[in-house]
Amino acid sequence: MAYRTPAPRMNRERADDEQGPGRRRFMVRRKVCRFCADKELKIDYKDTKVLGQFVSERGKITPSRITGNCAHHQRLLTTAIKRARSVALLPFTTARN
């Protein structure tokens, strides 16, 4: 069996070099967990106003990479949303027409 040599890789320029020397790169600010920042804010399955902010229009739980929640509070939030759904405080899905 004959071995093939891998194809040579193209030397790609970095994206910031292509923009020119006078341009600044855009810095993305790290999202902060709301519950860690504000100790007064509590996660409770009966508080549908707070829980509703973390549920999409389709009824899906918004992931922590979008909301910025830490792993601990995201787990508590998911449990609270599921409890609120089972007690019929939050809808599982939106009504389709």
DSSP 8-state secondary structure symbol assigned to residue 42: -
Sequence ranges of the domains in the chain:
34-97
pLDDT of residue 53: 93
pLDDT of residue 49: 93
DSSP 8-state secondary structure symbol assigned to residue 92: S
- Which pTM value belongs to this model? 0.69
Cα separation, 89 vs 82, in Å, equals: 10
Cα separation, 34 vs 54, in Å, equals: 11
**Would you state the structure tokens that stand for residue 16, as one six-digit string?**
């910031």
pLDDT of residue 61: 95
Question: What superfamily in CATH does domain 34-97 come from?
Answer: Ribosomal protein S18 (4.10.640.10)
Count CB atoms within 10 A of the CB of residue 94: 10
Q: CA neighbours within 13 Å on the CB side: how many for 78?
A: 13
What is the enclosing helix (H) or strand (E) of 50?
helix 48-52
pLDDT in tens, the chain (97 residues): 677 777 766 665 555 555 556 777 777 788 899 999 999 999 999 999 999 999 999 999 999 999 999 999 999 999 999 999 999 999 888 777 6
